[in-house]
Amino acid sequence: MSDPSRDELPLEISPTEAARILADAGAQPSLLLDCRTDEEHATARIEGSVLIPMQEIASRLAELDGWRGGTIVVHCHHGVRSLRVTQWLRERGFDRATSMRGGIDAWSAEIDPSVPVY
């Protein structure tokens, strides 16, 4: 029997699903990966996120190797860059990478209104 917590994640998930995955770290640790720019991260960020700008993902891929079998929730501003990064990661064996639909703006609207919208 397969472990349902290890089933493949969809390519995109909602902020509500992302919050559930991140809160359930005891069941399976997960990484919240912010692929926005340094400037965007300075403007608004989700607590606990790790910043690796999209333009640096390829050169910094080794930093993610420990997460190859784990869950990576990728986010950006609106969800476009994070979807591209998620697809790229999956092509490199990160099968549990998923993009947060709507990005940090959707997170602010649905999960944490204290996160600034910009």
Asked whether the predicted pLDDT for residue 2 surpasses 70, the reply is no
Mean pLDDT, rounded, for 84-95 = 97
pTM for this one? 0.91
User: pLDDT per residue over 43-88, tens digit each?
Assistant: 999 999 999 999 999 999 999 999 998 999 999 999 999 999 999 9
Query: Is 37 contained in some domain?
Result: yes
Query: Is 46 contained in some domain?
Result: yes
Domain total of the chain? 1
Among candidate residues 49, 23, 18, the one with its CA nearest the CA of residue 36: 49
* Domain extent for 15: 9-110
User: pLDDT per residue over 8-17, tens digit each?
Assistant: 789 999 999 9
Q: How many CB atoms lie within 10 A of CB 4?
A: 6
The CATH number assigned to the domain holding 13 equals 3.40.250.10
Query: Is 80 contained in some domain?
Result: yes
Q: Which residue's entry shows tokens 């990005």?
A: 103
Give the pLDDT of residue 100. 98
Helix (H, G, I), strand (E, B) or coil at 100: strand
